[in-house]
Amino acid sequence: RPSDPGPPFDLRAMLGGRCPVCGSAIAREEGEADWRCSGGLFCPAQRKQALIHFASRRAMDIEGLGEKLVEQLVDSDLVRTPADIYRLDLPTLAGLERMAEKSASNLLAAIEKSKQTTLARFIFSLGIRNVGETTAKDLARYFGSLELLLAADEATLMQVCDVGPVVAASLRLFLGEP
């Protein structure tokens, strides 16, 4: 290492305080090192990663919905939210690059199969910040239904095993989004 390393690296300044993909402001939570785009699903990069997580084996387990296909679906503006996955049809999928009718049909079957899942897997699939598989299971066990979870305030959320103020705030922030 040089004896005089110069000024510290400043990612925020280098990016002008904006996400390089969507232009939304970047923010860093107190005590954390990572700068994050504030654009949410508006940001194509975040949307792609959210959809890849949603379709992953440990989440909704949608076999065939991998990274390359998610990129095509987002880049062509066919999928903006996880719910849009369930609106895809055979002609749309078969028309995509490297997707024949058989592959499209198999993917649609996997999408249909994913509708029969547990509440815990669904909660985990949403990719809520600070909510992993174990917390998702605890939330599903405690509330028993999505409706009750959606209606819960932070105080009620903190009654769930291992849910503290940070997780409760993350849940309320995410669940409060339209």
At 36 the three-state DSSP class reads strand
Phi first, then psi: give them for residue 38, nearest 5 degrees.
-90, 5
| Distance separating alpha carbons of residues 115 and 61, to the nearest angstrom | 10
| Distance separating alpha carbons of residues 8 and 22, to the nearest angstrom | 26
Contact predicate 36/27, CB 8 Å: yes
Q: Provide mean pLDDT across the span 25-31.
A: 86
What pLDDT score was predicted for residue 2? Answer: 65
pLDDT at 7 over 90: no
Q: What is the pTM of this model?
A: 0.86
What pLDDT score was predicted for residue 176? Answer: 84
| Token pair recorded at residue 147 | 């409706």
| Token pair recorded at residue 32 | 């954390």
For the chain, the first-to-last Cα distance in angstroms comes to 49
- The CA R_g of the chain, rounded to the nearest whole Å, is 19
107-137 pLDDT, tens digit each:
999 999 999 999 999 999 999 989 999 999 9
Percentage of residues in the chain having pLDDT higher than 70: 99
pLDDT at 5 over 90: no
